[in-house]
Chain A
Amino acid sequence: MTVAVASGRLLEDSMRTLEAAGYLTAETWRTTRRLILPCLDPHVRCLIAKPADLLTYVEHGAADLGIVGKDMLLEQGRDVYELVDLGFGACRGIVAFPEEKAAGWEALSPIRIATKYPRVTERYFWGQGRSVEVVEMNGTVELAPQVGVADGILDLVMTGRTLVENHLLEVTEVFRSSARLVVNRVSLRTRAEAVRTVVERMREAASARARSSV
């Protein structure tokens, strides 16, 4: 059994949840730079992958389960089972514009949006009956409007501080995201018992952590 975990902002909480579920100890994941970690349960191993690659591993069955943000699920539309909302990593996908453009954003046409989520962006604006020019970026999306690459952005925000510091104003929310436990569709069948055990232990660990943090 392989559980893939997204590196980056979800890594720490993912590891803590795996720890709470009894699969890892803190030392194993804090003290190593290895990308495949052995677990306390000898039948389980843990693989650390880039967030954008994680669903590829799970969809292909290279990992049976994965922990990934809902934002990636929405963007990539992969054929995997999304079974548990693990609760952590909560953030929102929003559209924001520079303060001076924000008021009239609904009238802008054509509209150029910088984003790490090209498919979500196209879907959202097409859903509004508007055509959109998507400017795909890999990071520091909030820079794009300031240097004239785009009119606005569609990006993930947690606290909104980055927006304020870059003089951007949120105009609408597109989606809400948090970490999800996903399962390969074949693993769910060929390793049914083992997969269910991991899913249930992770579900309990996640809700126990949610309770204790309140």
Chain B
Amino acid sequence: MRDLLPDESARARTITDGIISRMQRWGYHEVVTPTIEYFDTLVRGEGTEAGDRLFKLVDRGGELLALRPEMTTPVARLVTTHLRAQPLPLRLAYAGQVFRGSETGSGRLREFPQVGAELIGSDTLEADAEIVALAVDALAASGAVECSVSLGHVGFLRGVLGALGLSEEGAAEVRALLYQKDFVGLRAALDRYGVPAARGDALMALPTLSGPHAIQEARRVAETRETRGVLRDLEALAEILEAYGVGGAVRVDLGIIRDFDYYTGIVFEGHTAVLGFPLLGGGRYDRLLEGFGAPYPATGFAVRVDRVLAASPSRDEEGGAADVAVAFTAEDRTEALRLARALRERELSVTVEILGRPWEEMARGAFAAGTPRAVLVTGGRAVVRDADGHEQSVAVADLLAGHPGNGSAPWAS
């Protein structure tokens, strides 16, 4: 759990708004779903095992509720109910807090902000390409530096695993080891189950099956019908991404391991060289909406705003001081507040003196806090002082009307 102070909070909002408005340019419409969902709804989307990592609540009627651990399931619920009659495909975006009950330890938060997009109703490579290109664009809009997207496919792993000829128990163990990224244990398990070295090598090679030669290399180590089809698709996808102009930011990486009960096709992660955790994750999940009675194929991704925040340089101008500090003598309150209102309408941030400090002290305090300009309204006139000491006196009426009193009013339009 963590707090965001004014500077960070402003940056987080800029990141979120930047990504959402970029998504809107791609025709994605923002939706908002409740933080609290029925437990059954969430489990229907994410599988019973996910139930363990949910924050659960019980309402007065004894109904079991839970905080959403991600936004895809709530969006799926929304699509299969309220938006059922809408023509496909649907392009939806969201931004919100998500919650994980079981995540503890360093670098793992129980609550964090996500911004994401879902493209629902198409199973084409064109749809996959759009969502990956949008992910690249979202990272660019986020302001995080040195970003790239690694693109894999669960079908490759499924094909390789299927060809090992393992028992159900053996397959489960191998999958668990893959999730843990324990390649030492994986080698031992493959030997123990008597998997021929050549077949096992395809799994052991996963961490290195990335980069420009990944697909050729993958063809060399894996030869099944499923992997052939997957690699063909990835090749075609890479070509479309090239046409999108994002080829340089995407690399094929067959070692991307994400939940293969949930994902059914491409899977991808966004990384930056300056952070040890992925910035975004996503993929194709064609079975999720089936659980809600609408067999729509879908693909999407979510950006971790907290991680983008950690990966983007902090900027001084945000979240800081007001643009103008206004003080007044008692009989000029109305005049001063009208001035403040007028300046706010011009999109300046304005604070009004409420401590009753002498003008000199108040101005010094404002400049020290980084506010570049202070105004004292007194006797129907405004004394405008800049941080550099430059000062002038202008009729308030001229300031408000935007007509320079003596040719040099500070906010002349």
Interface residues of A (CB under 8 A from B): 56, 58-62, 70, 73, 76-85, 180, 183-192, 196
Contacts and interface: CB of A to CB of B under 8 A. Distances in A.
Contacts, number: 69
Interface string B128-163: 000000000000000000101010000000000000
Contacts of B395: none
Contacts of A196: 208
Contact of A190 (B107, B148, B207, B208): B148
A35 to B, nearest CB: 19
Instruction: Name the prevailing secondary structure of the A interface residues.
Output: mixed
A185 B255 CA distance: 10
B185 interface: yes
A188 B251 CA distance: 13
B181 A79 contact: yes
A129 B107 CA distance: 32
Contacts of A180: 184
A55 to B, nearest CB: 9
B276 A187 contact: yes
A153 B60 CA distance: 45
Given A59-B107, A60-B107, A185-B278, A190 B273 contact: yes
B107 A84 contact: no
B10 interface: no
For the complex of A and B, the 9 pairs showing the least CB-CB separation, nearest first, are A61-B276, A190-B273, A81-B181, A85-B184, A60-B276, A82-B182, A186-B271, A184-B276, A56-B106
B150 A189 contact: yes
A78 B273 CA distance: 20
B277 to A, nearest CB: 7
18 contacts: A56-B107, A58-B276, A59-B107, A59-B276, A60-B106, A62-B276, A70-B184, A80-B181, A81-B181, A81-B183, A184-B276, A185-B278, A186-B273, A186-B278, A189-B271, A190-B272, A192-B211, A196-B208
B82 to A, nearest CB: 36
B52 to A, nearest CB: 13
A120 to B, nearest CB: 14
B273 A84 contact: no
Nearest to A70: B184
Contacts of A79: 181
B253 interface: yes
Nearest to B187: A85
Given A60-B106, A83-B207, A196-B208, A186 B277 contact: yes
A59 B106 contact: yes
A81 B207 contact: yes
Contacts of A62: 276
Contacts of A191: 273
A108 B182 CA distance: 34
Interface residues on B, range: 20 to 34
B87 interface: no
A1 B148 CA distance: 19
B105 interface: yes
Interface string B241-257: 00000000001010100
Nearest to A73: B182
Nearest to B186: A82
B277 A61 contact: yes
A189 B181 contact: no
B114 interface: no
Nearest to A82: B182
B195 interface: no
Contacts of B371: none
**Counting chain A CB atoms within 10 Å of each CB, which of B146, B208, B276 scores highest?**
B276
A90 to B, nearest CB: 13
Contacts of B278: 185-186
Interface in B91-108: 105-107
A192 B181 contact: no
Contacts of A58: 276
Nearest to B150: A189
**Counting chain B CB atoms within 10 Å of each CB, which of A56, A73, A184, A185 scores highest?**
A185
Interface string B174-199: 00000011111100000000000000
B299 interface: no
A19 B275 CA distance: 29
A82 B184 contact: yes
B210 interface: yes
A70 B180 CA distance: 13
B106 A192 contact: no
A40 to B, nearest CB: 24
B275 A61 contact: yes
A179 to B, nearest CB: 11
A175 to B, nearest CB: 11
Interface string B202-236: 00000110110000000000000000000000000
A69 to B, nearest CB: 12
A189 B148 contact: yes
